[in-house]
Amino acid sequence: MAQEIYIPTYKKVFEEAGNQVLFMFRFFRNIFRFDFEWNEMIRQCYMIGYKSFPLVAITGFIVGFVMTLQAEPTMKEFGAESYIPRMVAVSLIREICPVIIALICAGKMASGIGAELGSMKVTEQVEAMEVSGGNPIQYLVVTRILACVFMVPLLTIAAEALGLMGSYAGVNITGHVSTTLFFNKAFTSVSFGDLIPSFVKTIFFGFAIGFVGCYKGYNSDRGTESVGIAANSAVVSASLWIIVIDGIAVQLTNALGY
């Protein structure tokens, strides 16, 4: 009878970290084979990106709208209502939209990918692909991670635009500000120094969402319960990674003077 080996928790943490590094290595190695299926990647961009647009659009609009309504009384107290478009634009573009949209995408995309790959694993579809000589990492993982890397920044830009429209709507509930004046004030306060770091970090957010979703789904155990676990842990881990990446990004942009 084989002896059951007891592995201490700290070793399991290292084992998990090692597995994630190996999985990432397999992902990058497959990217540079330039053999991925474009049709599947476009399908994933549609499934992951386009189908998330309504949720992201509503969220972006409401965030801008609510921020404006919340800020207005305080700004009025200081006689600084005219700074609302600037304040909202900078906050939305630099921090709020990238992080909130990434967290929403983590909830929708990472869980979706985790559950899809997890159920493919349970129903032996991943193994079937592997034994037929196909490359499941290339077909299932590379396409989904790249789709997230492309779509999360685009969705964030869309949410920022709609957030500014929401803010414009919020400003016009109590007073009247013309469209030209509002967007003129908003855009004059935003520089490339605000846009670039924000855009770059959304690429990393997209990577984290796709990678964690794929890793959790691809490595899920057998049984229907594990599909739920894969989806759930994908959301939790991806959200955590987004917060960590954001913290690092803020430190970096401050250090670089943006």
Partner 1 sequence: MSNTTKSKIKGGEQEAVIKINGLAKSFGANEVLKDINLELHKEENLVILGKSGTGKSVTIKCIVGLLTQDKGNVTVFDEEVDKLSEDDLKALRIRIGFLFQSGALYDSMTVRENLEFPLRRVLKLKDKNDIDKRIEEILEGVGLPDAIDKMPSELSGGMRKRIGLARTMILKPEIMLYDEPTTGLDPITSKEISELIQSMKKNYHVSSIIITHDIACAKITADRMLVMDSGKIIAEGSFDELENSKEKLVNSFFK
Taking the complex as a whole, the smallest distance from the CB of residue 47 to partner 1 amounts, in Å, to 9
Helix, strand, coil fractions of the chain, as percent rounded to 5: 85, 0, 15
The residue from 5, 10, 28, 256 that contacts partner 1 (CB under 8 A) is 5
Task: Compare residues 124 and 225 and give the one whose CB is closer to partner 1.
Answer: 124
Residue 124 in the binding site for partner 1 (CB under 8 A): yes
- Exposed, middle or buried by CB within 10 Å (0-12, 13-18, 19+), for 125? middle
Taking the complex as a whole, the smallest distance from the CB of residue 42 to partner 1 amounts, in Å, to 14
Distance CA 186, CA 244 (A): 29
The residue from 2, 10, 192, 257 that contacts partner 1 (CB under 8 A) is 2
Residues 6+ apart with CB under 8 A from 210: 109, 110, 113, 144, 145, 146, 147, 148, 149
Interface of this chain with partner 1, residues 126 to 185, rule: CB under 8 A = 127-135, 139
DSSP strands (E only) in 105-252:
none
Distance CA 71, CA 75 (A): 6
Taking the complex as a whole, the smallest distance from the CB of residue 209 to partner 1 amounts, in Å, to 20
Distance CA 109, CA 156 (A): 14
Task: Compare residues 102 and 146 and give the one whose CB is closer to partner 1.
Answer: 146
Taking the complex as a whole, the smallest distance from the CB of residue 40 to partner 1 amounts, in Å, to 10
| CB hemisphere CA count around 216 (13 angstroms) | 28
Task: Compare residues 131 and 255 and give the one whose CB is closer to partner 1.
Answer: 131
Please, are residues 101 and 154 in contact by the beta-carbon 8 Å criterion?
A: no
Taking the complex as a whole, the smallest distance from the CB of residue 4 to partner 1 amounts, in Å, to 4
The residue from 23, 24, 31, 37 that contacts partner 1 (CB under 8 A) is 37
The residue from 4, 9, 32, 54 that contacts partner 1 (CB under 8 A) is 4
Taking the complex as a whole, the smallest distance from the CB of residue 88 to partner 1 amounts, in Å, to 41
Please, are residues 160 and 92 in contact by the beta-carbon 8 Å criterion?
A: yes
Task: Compare residues 17 and 128 and give the one whose CB is closer to partner 1.
Answer: 128
Tokens 């299932």 — which residue? 140
Sites of contact with partner 1 (CB under 8 A): 1-5, 37, 120, 123-125, 127-135, 139
